[in-house]
Amino acid sequence: MTQEQWRPILDYEGIYEVSNLGRVRSLSRYRSNGRQLSGRVLRPGRIGRGYRVVSLCYDGEGQTRRIHRLVLEAFVSPCPEGKECAHLDGDPSNNQLENLAWVTEKENSHHRIKHGTGGWKLTVKRVRKIRRLYRKMPGRKCERYGKLAEQFAVCPEQIRCVVLRRSWKAV
């Protein structure tokens, strides 16, 4: 079993740390009003296809960050230009350092295809169903895209392209 190591989160040094096992914690510290905050391991949220996120706060401003990026930035390097993060086993909830790497978009696409998590899961039947469900759903466009994306295990941008007929035009 891998020994857990902690490193400061870039731009949040002294406030938050991330571990090589993909956990994030806040550090004990004093607020500007003198009140002490106890450190704790944060409970991650989930977005999209299962990516884990945490909310980090500094000077009263919050920011939601994806844990896989925090791990790579702390233990490897900031994201090199032209690279993105890949989950080598195809599981977006597995944020252990040994499962992550900076790769090109093309390499990441190959990983997604290899693990069956790519955006090619749509069929004519599913595209018709997406368009039909979209028309019947209440709410704002972006909310509808997100709900359908979760239901069909694709990204919201792919749903948007299907609905606007930028992809699957012949259907």
Kindly state whether residue 170 falls inside one of the protein's structural domains.
no
pTM for the predicted model, two decimal places: 0.68
Q: Are residues 19 and 69 in the same domain?
A: yes
Residues 47, 69: Cα–Cα separation, whole Å: 14
Render each residue's pLDDT in the chain as its tens digit; 171 residues: 679 999 999 999 999 999 999 999 999 988 778 899 899 999 999 987 789 999 999 878 889 999 999 999 999 999 999 999 999 988 889 999 999 999 998 888 777 767 666 555 678 888 999 999 999 988 888 888 888 888 887 778 888 889 999 888 888
Q: Are residues 149 and 90 in the same domain?
A: no
Kindly state whether residue 65 falls inside one of the protein's structural domains.
yes
Q: Are residues 43 and 93 in the same domain?
A: yes
Q: Which pair of structure tokens corresponds to residue 12?
A: 């949040």
Kindly state whether residue 21 falls inside one of the protein's structural domains.
yes
Task: Give me the residues paired with residue 116 across strands.
Answer: none
Q: Please answer whether residues 62 and 56 qualify as being in contact, where contact means their C-beta atoms are separated by less than 8 angstroms.
A: yes
CATH code, 13 = 3.90.75.20
Kindly state whether residue 78 falls inside one of the protein's structural domains.
yes
Q: Are residues 107 and 69 in the same domain?
A: yes
- Domain of residue 98, residue span: 6-115
pLDDT of residue 117: 66
- Count of structural domains, the chain: 2
Kindly state whether residue 24 falls inside one of the protein's structural domains.
yes
Taking the alpha carbons of 156, 157, 160, 162 in that order, is the dihedral positive or negative?
A: negative
Q: Are residues 42 and 79 in the same domain?
A: yes
Q: Are residues 135 and 107 in the same domain?
A: no
Residues 41-47: contacts with CB under 8 Å, at least 24 apart:
42/16, 46/93
Q: Are residues 23 and 82 in the same domain?
A: yes
Taking the alpha carbons of 154, 156, 159, 161 in that order, is the dihedral positive or negative?
A: negative
Q: Please answer whether residues 17 and 6 qualify as being in contact, where contact means their C-beta atoms are separated by less than 8 angstroms.
A: yes
Q: Are residues 77 and 154 in the same domain?
A: no
